[in-house]
Chain A
Amino acid sequence: MDYATLLQVLDSTMRLATPLLLACLAGLFSERAGVIDIGLEGKMLIAAFFSAAIAAATGSVWLGLLAGLVSSTLLSFVHGLASITFRGNQLISGVAINFLAAGLTVLIAQDWFGQGGRTPSLIGSGRWENITLPLAETLRPVPVLGPLYADLISGHSLLVYVGLVMVPVTWWVLFRTRFGLRLRAVGEAPEAVDTAGVSVTGLRYAAVGICGLLCGLAGSYLATGLQAGFVKDMTAGRGYIALAALIFAKWRPWSALGACLLFGLLQAVALRYQNIDLGGITIPVQVMDALPYILTVVILAGFVGKAIPPRAGGEPYVKER
């Protein structure tokens, strides 16, 4: 494999990792606050649809993004209502949200556009443009580093950079602010937070809200950046891969970046090479598809470092009387 090909694969890794990363950080906020979220998939899906639909109707990718953020956050608050206010089962609520999004998107898409559950293809200002970073073309002739800068680092859409920036931001919010400390505390020992006179409910709703916004970014990028328009079930399990990445990263932001890049790389390789020939042994493409899930099971089994989730995860908080 030559250098140009390598750059292409890494470039596609960046783009494929972005929705995973945004969704993974979304799950990080929610689960750190003690609200388990297996509805990442559904929130991405509904954001993908509304972004594409509104972008197609108005021709503005920004309005599309707004619609994606709003729809995803609304769905997130349904999850909050079920799991915080009504103290329901968070896992079941997440499953319900995934199905709600899978059904509603196709239903509404069919009603609005009549194209069998898809939006029209986005053109022009309905999609994110690729940003060329300063001096990308000037530096291209520089050996090795020039193409690296021009092809890999430069030339992505805005949301890719937003995703990357969100990693230190998430780290800073969670580990360097009072809000972050309280948010983490609410996922470990909500009774302590309550004793300190801070609202457990309020913090958890805030976390769920942030989760909705980040899922909205992820879905929006999927439909208006990575691809040009919405198709039925276009998240294709990415929400679950993000969940796997979250466990793989043991609920930590920088590790989340690493896990998402790894899973993005697997997707990029599977996309480019159907079957990989390794000197006589052929690795079928399905192995690449299944690898994120297999790795997560191995991590969960605790054979390679144990993944310990936030202690109060999944437990609705009941104030003692």
Chain B
Amino acid sequence: MDKLPPWADAVLVPLISLLLAAALSALVILGIGENPVEAFRLMVEGALLRSAGWGYTLYYATNFIFTGLAVSVAFHARLFNIGGEGQATLGGLGVAIVCLYLPWPHWTLAMLGASVAAALFGAAWAFIPAYLQAKRGSHIVITTIMFNFIAAALLNYLLVNVMKPAGQQDPATDIFPAATHLPTFQDMFATEANPLFRGAPGNVTFFLAIAACVAIWALIWRTRLGYEIRALGHSESAARYAGISPVKTIVVAMLISGGLAGLMGVNTAMGEAERLVMNATEGAGFIGIAVALMGRNHPVGVFLAAILFGFLYQGGAELALWTNIPRELIVVIQALVILFTGALDNAVRMPLARVFAMRRKPAE
């Protein structure tokens, strides 16, 4: 098959996939008797034209950056970590334990401690599937799916039977102490005269997510470990021949992946809810798959795709508020993005390659 130029591979293919997904979504909106143009206008207005909208968009984007990076690090080692959901659940648990049972003098220290706990818990949850894949060849996709369900059951048990304060009805922990509350964008940027980001959950964790993007870029393309991960992803036999241990690399890549997914717990439990609630992840672990596929496994791409999905999430909430279109529209869009950028990739790539081949020929 004809090769695509790199820029077309990096920009054109995801863009066309996105346009296809958008076109089909517009058809779906038409099909349920609503106006797609009007819907899009509402989404932009609700998510991007007000600072509070941005506060929500960036809050969601923070989650998706973490889970997107998690999926993409695993992808580099040719591992499909579908367990971001469970790892993020455990990350939230780590955050809750640290915030509830340790005394913290200031939010900066609490955030540091909670981040370490979240990453450790998330990584620990990824460890068993990683080990089983590396040592015993158990398919990591299936084991991580199973671990998602086990994590959900574990959290359910802990919240209902152990961590719920006496006399409380809903299954959630106590509110975290005030010293652990993270500053929101409103706390950071709003002034008397200019009340920005009012009531929005976006918080300082967003900057942690950006730092994670930079760190992952450096890790994957500027360190020996990153090289080993990519080498293993390209060819296991070549990596083995070069003296790279597949077992070690698989486990380390999955620990990093799980740790990143776990970090999402800092944003949801500490930044937004300020306690641990049931199903705090709300499917963000799965959106990470779409984000990593769209972002072509590059931190810059992941960042942009996460913002896009943050916009879709906030915009979808606005739609549900003002129109008869339920929030599930976003799930459909997400499915189409995964389908076109991940599975039907060749359906976009093949015709495109033909176009480029045709353009090249007359020049010869």
Contacts and interface: CB of A to CB of B under 8 A. Distances in A.
Contact of A88 (B139, B328, B345): B345
A106 interface: yes
B16 interface: no
Task: Please provide the 9 A-B residue pairs with the shortest distance between their CB atoms, ordered closest to farther.
Answer: A103-B331, A93-B343, A103-B332, A99-B335, A92-B342, A290-B153, A88-B343, A100-B335, A96-B339
A286 interface: yes
Contact of B132 (A110, A286, A300): A300
B143 A237 contact: no
Contacts, number: 156
13 contacts: A88-B345, A89-B345, A93-B339, A95-B289, A103-B332, A106-B326, A110-B32, A111-B31, A284-B161, A290-B149, A293-B147, A300-B136, A309-B139
Among A90, A114, A301: residue with most chain B CB under 10 A: A301
B28 interface: yes
Interface residues of B, number: 50
A271 interface: no
Contacts of A74: none
Interface in A293-311: 293-294, 296-297, 300-302, 309
A301 B150 contact: no
Interface stretch (A51-59, A79-87, A205-213): A79-87
Contacts of B214: none
Contact of A38 (B145, B156, B326): B145
Interface string B127-139: 0100010001111
Interface stretch (A216-224, A240-248, A251-259): A240-248
Contacts of A244: 142, 146
Given A91-B80, A103-B335, 16 more contacts: A83-B343, A86-B347, A90-B343, A96-B338, A99-B331, A102-B335, A103-B330, A103-B332, A110-B326, A111-B31, A237-B149, A289-B153, A293-B147, A297-B150, A301-B138, A309-B139
Contacts of B32: 107-108, 110-111
Contact residues of A: prevailing secondary structure: helix
B344 interface: yes
Nearest to A100: B335
A296 B339 contact: no
